[in-house]
Structure 1
Amino acid sequence: MYIKKILVAIALIGVVVGGIIVYNIYNAIFAPNTVFEEDRVFIEVPTNAGFSAVKAQLQPLLKDMSSFERVAQRKGYIGNIKAGRFPISKGMNNNEIVNSIRSRNIPLSLSFNNQESLGELAGRISDQIEADSVSLLKVFNDKEFLDSINMNSDNAIGMYIPNTYEFFWNTDAEAFRDRMYKEYNKFWNETRIGKAMQLGLTPKQVTALAAIVQKESAKVDERPRIAGVYINRIRKKMPLQADPTVIFAKKKLSGDFEQVIKRVLNADLQLDSPYNTYKYAGIPPGPICMPDISSIDAVLNFEQHDYLYFVADTKNFGYHKFAKTLSQHNVNAKEYHQWINAQGIRR
């Protein structure tokens, strides 16, 4: 009888211990293990990262790191880490967290606007995906690649069409560049190429002209009219005489693209640069900035009129006064110069 009681007691202890073990295992796997208040957060796991890098990102997000680590070990995650941007939802348990960071690499919306240089573009993109600005700039300027697509360092920026695109966070520099080239070819469809041909321009020339239009006006509704002025000038074989090209030439020659130039001086018009459209006829060898879609389409769908000149309208800020004759333009220009002098703007 005594032995029987001992055996029963041992059995009961075993049941209790087993229950505790099962309970602990259940909690480790299925109990909620998050501490953040947001509905969902993301971690970004770098390419070739080790488990320590994953733990460092998860540490402030989890209640119990040791239980997560045990589950990750049992599920084989520690030796099979994937790079990417992974979501973790509030209230997830360790099993769900491991499943998410192992297989739910969710793309993000990457966007960029009209950057002035490939360097600026590289910085903008590196803030959004894993690729760093140095590696991005290197592939942007890769001569072998540019030669293969009939582009060069002057017009390469025109390959990047400002928009919002879907990318995985762990996209590398070369993959980003190659995707942008595909988007460029998609953008320059049969319709747009046909309109460029009607103008007697190539897509690259349209982009370079659109960059000038972009710099001339921030008003999207005015851009087709400004584009019409430049098309009229090209058809009459007049120089473009666009102040933004002179500003770009000055920045490019100095190597300082950060300088702020609010006024073009007569001395600037003598700058010896192919971008100086006062000194050199025709469209510059490349875009002076990255024009957005509205500017490109403004050139392709320019407003047909007889204007040959325009100057900033001092009474309608952001817009311009247009003129068909030089005498009328001189009247408008005099009014503008009086206004800008009154503002004390010297450079």
Structure 2
Amino acid sequence: MRTTYVPAFLVLLLAGLGTGVGGALLFAPNTAPYDGSRDFVLPEDATLEQAIDTLQTEHVLVSPATFRFVGRMTGWGAQLKAGHYDVEGARSNYHLLDMLRRGLQTPIRVTIPPGSRSSHIAHAVARRLKLDSAAAHAALRDTALARELGTAPGRLFGYMLPETYEFYWQTPARTVVRRIKESFDRYYAQHLKAGADSLGFTKQEVVTLASIVEWEAIHDAEKPTIAGVYVNRLREGWHLQADPTIQYVLLQTEGERTGRVLYRDLEIDHPYNTYKNSGLPPGPITNPSPTSLRAAVAPGQHEYFYFAADGSGGHTFSRTLREHNRAAEEYHRMLDKRRK
């Protein structure tokens, strides 16, 4: 059976008011009926009146007057702590004020989307935790933090493992980035390292290859096959010729990602241009999902060296350039028919 601890001064308050009246003020439910929970944010240095305004705006309080009275009589109304709070079920003035004075916050769920650029990840974090978006972006680009976490400068965003995390309101951006990177490291050790070692890939090479697969594939089922094509090209010493890396180059040089790569784009002099440079690019182009990461360390075993879009969101895979050209021609004929 759950019991409620009542501080000595509240016992005196109850005695002074009469146990019936005092008990009602303190322990009777003072939250509006609601199916589920309600959350609210109490800002820094909020006064008792500001807290009441917030609770009324969120339709939490039934009687602001009794909440105000108890807050003043206990002195707890002057001890409120900022944060993100959650109220579920019938709660009393005692419970609400005790929660706010002790800072018993509810963690905020932050979902990191896969296939995102650095600025989008920063925005997702900042929006949920009420942080400055520029500060969150700066944390992802922080050279000292990257080195501390064992990552090359400017590449932390690729290690932001797409998952849902829990943080407290206004957790510093560097702390958020550090925790997500540490989560990635645990995931890598448990699920990826053995496969990477068997292929002779470093952690950065795994993330880089997976990031290309992430941008290339729509269907998870195709990811191992696509990864296998790139691994086959690497083993044969071919240029990777991955269109997503050109899209990344365009994003860096022109500020936007294009849906179609043009022939002139293939001539851009840039270290991420895999049409001109051998091997994998210097780092990831996005943050890959777990399915893309697993595909990178367990690529399909096949003889495909090419693939072309098939018009359905998938691809046609080919062993020879002749087969690939036929598949590409078929795709373009289909596009022409759709335009008519």
Q: How far 1:324 moved relative to its partner?
A: 0.7
Q: Counterparts of 1:52 and 1:44 in 2: how far apart (Å)?
A: 14
Shift of 1:309: 0.4
Identity of matched residues, %? 31
Deviation at 1:220, TM superposition (A): 0.5
Q: How far apart are the structure 2 equivalents of 1:271 and 1:219?
A: 29
Letter in 2 for 1:324: R
Which range is displaced more, 145-154 or 168-177? 145-154
Name the counterpart of 1:323. Answer: 318
1:50·1:81 contact (CA, 8 Å) conserved in 2?
yes
**Matches of 2:227 and 2:100 in 1, distance apart?**
50
How many Å separate the matches in 2 of 1:263 and 1:278?
15
Equivalent residue, structure 2, for 1:294: 291
TM-score, length-scaled by structure 2:
0.86
Larger Rg: 1
| 1:24-103 alignment, distance < 5 Å | 24-35=21-32, 37-60=34-57, 61-103=60-102
Shift of 1:227: 0.3
8 Å contact from structure 1 (residues 83, 170) kept in 2: no
2:200 alignment partner in structure 1: 200
What is the CA-CA distance between 1:192 and the residue it aligns to?
Answer: 2.0
Unpaired stretches in structure 1, ≥5 consecutive residues: 1-17
Question: Given residue 98 of structure 1, which amino acid in structure 2 is its aligned partner?
Answer: L
* RMSD of aligned Cα (Å): 2.4
300, 303, 308: which one aligns with 2:305 = 308
Deviation per residue, 1:317-346 (Å, 9 max, x gap): 12111111111111111112233344459x
* Residues 123-202 of structure 1 mapped to structure 2, 5 A cutoff: 123-189=123-189, 192-202=192-202
1:158 touches 1:204 (CA, 8 Å); kept in 2?
Answer: no
2:105 corresponds to which residue?
Answer: 105
**TM-fit CA distance, 1:125:** 1.1
Amino acid at match of 1:247: Q
Partner of 1:13: none
**1:116-173 alpha-carbon deviations (Å, 9 max, x no partner):** 3221101111222233322211222222212333433442212211112232234221
Shift of 1:24: 4.4
The secondary structure found in structure 1 opposite 2:87 is strand
Q: Distance in 1 between matches of 2:262 and 2:230?
A: 21
Encode CA deviations 1:50-93: one digit per residue, 9 max, x unaligned. Answer: 44442331123212223212212333323322233222234322
| Cα distance in 2 between the residues matched to 1:50 and 1:140 | 35
Q: Which runs of 5+ in 2 are unaligned?
A: 1-14
User: Structure 1's 268 and 342: CA in aligned 2 closer, same or farther, altered over 3 A?
Assistant: farther
Q: 1:310 to 1:39 in 2, by over 3 A?
A: closer
- Tell me by how many angstroms 1:112 deviates: 1.4
- Cα displacement (A) at 1:36: 5.1
Count of aligned residue pairs for this structure pair: 323
* Deviating more after overlay: 172-181 vs 184-193: 184-193
Structure 1 residue 335 corresponds to structure 2 residue 334 = no
Cα distance change on mapping 1:318 and 1:337 into 2, 3 Å? same
CA deviation after TM superposition for structure 1 residue 306, in Å: 0.6
SS in 2 for 1:128: helix
Task: Specify the code of the residue in structure 2 equivalent to 1:109.
Answer: R
SS at structure 2 position matched to 1:310: strand
Q: 1:19 to 1:249 in 2, by over 3 A?
A: closer
Contact 1:42 1:85 in 2 (8 A): yes
What amino acid is the match of 1:63?
V
Pairwise CA distance, 1:250: 1.1
- Contact 2:192–2:293 (CA<8 Å) still a contact in 1? no
Deviates more, 1:181-190 or 1:281-290: 181-190
Shift of residue 311 of structure 1?
A: 0.4
After superposition, give the CA deviation of every residue in 1:98-125 in whole Å (9 maximum; x if it has no partner).
Answer: 2333443222332111143221101111
**Contact 1:130–1:171 under 8 Å retained in 2:** no
